[in-house]
């Protein structure tokens, strides 16, 4: 949190506002998660994430509107009006935070006295908010990629590599769950080797046969990612009814590539109808490619370890034969 407070602090210090908060939308939980704040007490901020359904102001902002409360202390639509008095807050401007033409959160700006935010002031703050959102999102993805690189390079155990791959991917892309399936020797079946965020019932739904799964077949053949915005409207998804029961709406399938060979797929699952941006696709591909190399290294390490154990057993066998024979 500390490294991201600069956005809220710069807004307040340079533009002489009393306080500011920046919250980004968790699309899976439909909550606004705090990412930066300035000028407010820790006690005031301890209320935690804001459910979108419980905030009329933020619901309007997430549709692209600016909302002005000239006196937040007496406005019936203010969710935290009672807490505003001890914080010394009066007026509030709430604006959408956008990144790549998509609203990803809200920014609240407060004055310590009743204030009318002019159209020019609102327009300027909208630009500041969007620039800050770009920096926050790109920093978060860079940190995720950096952490994943460290994790996959710190172990050669396949299970640890796969879990690190999925945890960082799910968090950075703000999706619900993820899975990794690798092709079998005949390249006819995608075998589940790791999953995160999915129920045991869904994981046991049945085998994924390449011939029966058009979406996976296309990814494997073209070696390119494919996103399904809404699996309930997609005929190429193998288990649509099971996905509906699991609460899955969107699926993003990425190839796991080692040089020119696709060894499997990584899937990202969302409970919302999602359209992934070009930057999200590029980021996910970078993670998938890094993960594929790590998987191959881990498999090679396991094969070498197994071969070493076999050689040791051979040596022990010859030793026993020569000693007792």
Q: For 118-143, write each residue's pLDDT tens digit.
A: 999 999 998 888 887 777 777 777 77
CATH 3.40.630.40: does it fit domain 2-141?
no
Distance CA 89, CA 111 (A): 6
On whether the CB atoms of residues 228 and 246 are closer than 8 A, the answer is no
130: Cβ–Cβ under 8 A, 6 or more apart, which residues? 97, 98, 99
| The dihedral formed by the CA atoms of 129, 272, 274 and 65, expressed in degrees to the nearest 10 | -30
260-269 pLDDT, tens digit each: 889 999 999 9
* pLDDT for position 323: 60
Q: Which residue has the tokens 């619901």?
A: 59
pLDDT score of 76 more than 90: no
144-160 pLDDT, tens digit each: 777 777 766 666 677 88
Q: How many CB atoms lie within 10 A of CB 117?
A: 18
Q: How long is the chain? A: 325
Q: Which CATH class is domain 155-311?
A: alpha beta
pLDDT score of 319 more than 60: no
Q: What is the pTM of this model?
A: 0.69
Q: How many CA atoms lie within 13 Å of 45's alpha carbon, on the beta-carbon side?
A: 17
34: Cβ–Cβ under 8 A, 6 or more apart, which residues? 1, 21, 22, 23, 45, 48, 49
Distance CA 210, CA 73 (A): 60
At residue 179 the predicted structure's pLDDT band, cuts being 50, 70 and 90, is very high
Report domain extents, the chain: 2-141, 155-311
Instruction: Indicate the SS3 state at residue 95.
Output: strand
Q: 2-141 and 155-311: same fold?
A: yes
* pLDDT for position 3: 44
* pLDDT for position 252: 92
At residue 251 the predicted structure's pLDDT band, cuts being 50, 70 and 90, is very high
When mean pLDDT is compared across 71-75, 225-229, 280-284, 321-325, the lowest value belongs to 321-325
Q: What angle do CA 126, 128, 132 make, to 5 degrees?
A: 115
Instruction: Enter the tokens of residue 169.
Output: 């991917």
| Percent of the chain predicted with pLDDT > 70 | 85
Instruction: Considering only residues 182 and 306, tell me which one the structure prediction assigns the higher pLDDT.
Output: 182
């Amino acid at each position: 949190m500390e490294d991201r407070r600069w956005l809220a602090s710069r807004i307040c210090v340079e533009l002489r506002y009393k306080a500011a908060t920046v919250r980004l939308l968790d699309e899976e939980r439909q909550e606004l998660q705090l990412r930066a704040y300035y000028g407010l007490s820790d006690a005031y901020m301890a209320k935690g994430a804001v459910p979108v359904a419980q905030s009329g102001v933020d619901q309007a902002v997430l549709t692209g509107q600016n909302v002005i409360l000239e006196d937040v202390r007496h406005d019936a639509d203010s969710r935290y009006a009672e807490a505003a008095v001890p914080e010394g807050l009066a007026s509030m401007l709430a604006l959408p935070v956008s990144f790549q033409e998509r609203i990803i959160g809200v920014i609240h700006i407060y004055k310590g006295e009743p204030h009318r935010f002019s159209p020019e002031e609102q327009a300027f703050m909208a630009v500041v908010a969007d620039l800050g959102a770009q920096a926050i999102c790109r920093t978060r993805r860079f940190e995720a990629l950096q952490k994943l690189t460290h994790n996959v390079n710190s172990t050669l155990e396949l299970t640890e590599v796969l879990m690190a791959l999925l945890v960082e991917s799910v968090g950075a892309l703000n999706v619900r769950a993820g899975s990794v399936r690798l092709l079998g020797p005949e390249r006819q079946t995608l075998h589940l080797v790791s999953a995160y965020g999915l129920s045991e019932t869904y994981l046991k739904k049945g085998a994924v046969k390449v011939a029966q799964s058009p979406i996976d077949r296309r990814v494997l053949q073209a070696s390119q990612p494919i996103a399904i915005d809404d699996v309930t409207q997609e005929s190429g998804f193998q288990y649509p009814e099971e996905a509906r029961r699991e609460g899955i709406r969107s699926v993003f399938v990425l190839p796991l590539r080692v040089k020119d060979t696709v060894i499997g797929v990584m899937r990202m699952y969302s409970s919302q109808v999602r359209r992934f941006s070009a930057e999200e696709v590029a980021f996910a591909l970078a993670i998938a490619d890094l993960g594929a190399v790590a998987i191959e290294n881990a498999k090679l390490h396991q094969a070498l370890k197994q071969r070493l154990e076999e050689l040791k057993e051979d040596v022990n066998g010859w030793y026993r034969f020569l000693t007792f024979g």
